[in-house]
Amino acid sequence: MLKRTLVAVGVQVMGQFSGINVINYFGPSMYTALGITGGQALLVQGIYGAVGPIANFFFITLILDSVGRKKPLIFGAGSFVVTYSVLTAIVASFPPEVNGLPNTHVSAQRAGIAMIFMTSIFFSLSFGPVSWVLASEVFPTRTRSMGTSLATCANWALNVLFSQVSNLAIANISWKYYLVFICLNAIDFVIIILFFPETKGKTLEEMAVVFGDEVDLSVVHQDEKMDHDKPDIVHA
């Protein structure tokens, strides 16, 4: 179960590396770093909270089973590198205060908000739903509960870590903290391409082949033949 466990734990950890919960928990602090304060920051965070679930719903119902698991993860990791890079450049170039005066560069503020919102949308089109699907379907029935429990534990362990350090990091090192997520997601992008399997539509026997288990291939071929020879049923 080692390969399966590494994939399941890995995809859950990478979901935290997206930084989505940093935004969820400390969005107002991130908006303050853009020069947006007070009720305006809370309003933006409230609107942000509705964006992700809507994108998540459409992805799960219309897209997930057609594109598979690996491609959305690659897309997600790559898109996070882009959005955090742009956000880092904006916060570094337009700090919330210059010579004691607040940042009034409205275009930069809007661009920063757009990057945060796009990060939420891209998460909902990738790691948000896929991390839970992949973490469960890589395991056979007899070890699925234990495997998914371990993966979920890893998810929440990283969640606790980021929840403890993020607000301090945003306040003390500002845009430099976002470099962490750029680097982590760049590494995730490479790891997913090289090591993550595609599991969409795989039977338990086929999943065993994907992970290099010893299986009776004749059973797999027999199942494929039965599916191929199965007559079409025409309903009147």
Identity at 156, one-letter amino acid code: W
Evaluate whether 113 touches 34 at the Cβ level (below 8 Å): yes
CA atoms within 13 A on the CB side of 69: 22
CATH number for the domain formed by residue range(s) 1-199? 1.20.1250.20
What does the mean pLDDT of the chain come to? Answer: 87
pLDDT, tens only, 128-185:
999 999 998 899 888 999 999 999 999 999 999 999 999 999 989 989 999 999 999 9
pLDDT, tens only, 42-55:
889 888 988 989 99
Query: Range with the lowest mean pLDDT among 25-39, 93-107, 218-232?
Result: 218-232
Could you identify the residue written with the tokens 């029935």?
Answer: 141
Domain ranges of the chain: 1-199
Strand (E) or helix (H) holding 98: strand 97-98
pLDDT at 225 over 70: no
Evaluate whether 18 touches 155 at the Cβ level (below 8 Å): no
140, 145, 178, 144: which is closest to 162 by C-alpha?
178
Cα–Cα distance, 163 to 168 (Å, whole number):
10
